Amino acid sequence: MSSSATAAGWAKQAWASLGRLSYTSLSLLALPSYAAELAAHALTGQQTPDLAYERLGLCTAERPAGPVLWFHAFSIGESAVALPVIFRCLLEYNEHVHVLLTTSTPEARTLLQNSLPPRVTVQFLPLDNMLCMRQFLAHWKPQACILMESPAWPALVECCAAAGVRLALLNARLSSRVFLSWFCSAPRRALLGSMLSSFNLIVPQSDIDVGRFRILGATLGQMPGWCSDLKYAAALGTSVWHLWRPRPGRWVAGAGNSSCVTMQPC
C-alpha cells in the first residue's frame, strides 16, 4: 500500500473518531436536560411515566425467552414499511422467536400498542446516547437489529456492533439535502462511513440511493440490490395486521402525504 493511501486511511479514521467523540460527548451532556424535560412531561400528564422510563432506556416490559428480532421504525410511515417484514418473520419463524418494535413518536406507539400479535412488543426507542442504549441492549439482548430508512443512529449502531448484534438497513434512502449534509462535512462523512461499515445488509430504495451510500462508504457486498419504496407494500402489512387483530373492524392503508402511510378504520 502506498504512503498516500495509508495517510488517507489514517485521516479518515481520525475524522471518524472526531465525529464519534463529538456526537457522544454532546449526547451525554444533553442527557440531564432531556431527563428533566421527560420528568416535567410525566408530572404534567403530557405522557405517562412508563414512556419517560422507556426514553431513558429503562425497559418496562420483560424480555421473552428465546431469540428477539429488533425492528426500529421512527414514525407511522416507517412502521407501515416494517409491518410486512415483521409479519413475514412471524410466519417464517416458530413461536419461540419474538419481535421488538421500537418507534420514536407517541402517535406511532399509540397506534401500534396492543394492536399487534402477542409475540410483538412495542417500546419507545431510548435516547440515542451510549448510556441509554447500553442499558436497553443489556435488557433485550436482540439477535438482530433492522432499521428502517435511516442509518443515522450513531450510538445505536456503535452499541449494537460492540454487542455483536447483526445490523440491517431496509428501505434505505438519502435525500439530496441529507446526502450533502453528510458529504460536505469531513467528520460527519467519516462518521457515517464508519457506521455503514457495521451493517451486514443494506437495501436501498433506488439505484440513486445505492450510489449515494456507495460514495459515503457502503460496499457493493453490503447492497445486493435495491427494493423500490417498501411503503407501497403497506397495504399487505395492514391486511395481515387485520388478520391478527383481536378486535373487530377492517383497516385500510392510504397515503396521508408523500412521506407516510396512515391506517384508518373503515
SS (H, E, C) the chain: CCHHHHHHHHHHHHHHHHHHHHHHHHHHHCHHHHHHHHHHHHHCCCCCHHHHHHHCCCCCCCCCCCCEEEEECCCHHHHHHHHHHHHHHHHHCCCCCEEEEEECCHHHHHHHCCCCCCCEEEEECCCCCHHHHHHHHHHHCCCEEEEECCCCCHHHHHHHHHHCCEEEEEEECCCHHHHHHHHCCHHHHHHHHHHHCCCCEEEECCHHHHHHHHHCCCCCCCCCCCCCCHHHHHHHHHHHHHHHCCCCCCEEEEEEECCEEEEEEC
pLDDT-derived band of residue 59, with 50, 70 and 90 as boundaries? Answer: confident
Question: Are 85 and 71 spatial neighbours (Cβ–Cβ below 8 Å)?
Answer: yes
Instruction: Look at residue 263 in the predicted model and tell me its pLDDT.
Output: 39
Torsion angles phi and psi, residue 135, rounded to 5:
-65, -40
Interval 166-218: pLDDT, tens: 999 999 999 999 999 999 988 888 889 999 999 999 999 999 999 999 999 99
pLDDT-derived band of residue 251, with 50, 70 and 90 as boundaries? Answer: very low
More confident residue, 266 or 233: 233
Distance CA 101, CA 103 (A): 7
Look up 92 and say whether it is catalytic.
no
Find the catalytic residue in 78, 92, 95, 149.
Answer: 78
Whole-model pTM: value is 0.78
Measured CA to CA in angstroms, residue 244 lies from 8, 102, 120, 211 at distances of 53, 19, 11, 39
pLDDT-derived band of residue 244, with 50, 70 and 90 as boundaries? Answer: very low
Question: Are 146 and 86 spatial neighbours (Cβ–Cβ below 8 Å)?
Answer: no
Distance CA 244, CA 99 (A): 15
More confident residue, 53 or 148: 148
For cell 418494535, the residue is: 101
Q: What percent of the chain has pLDDT over 70?
A: 72
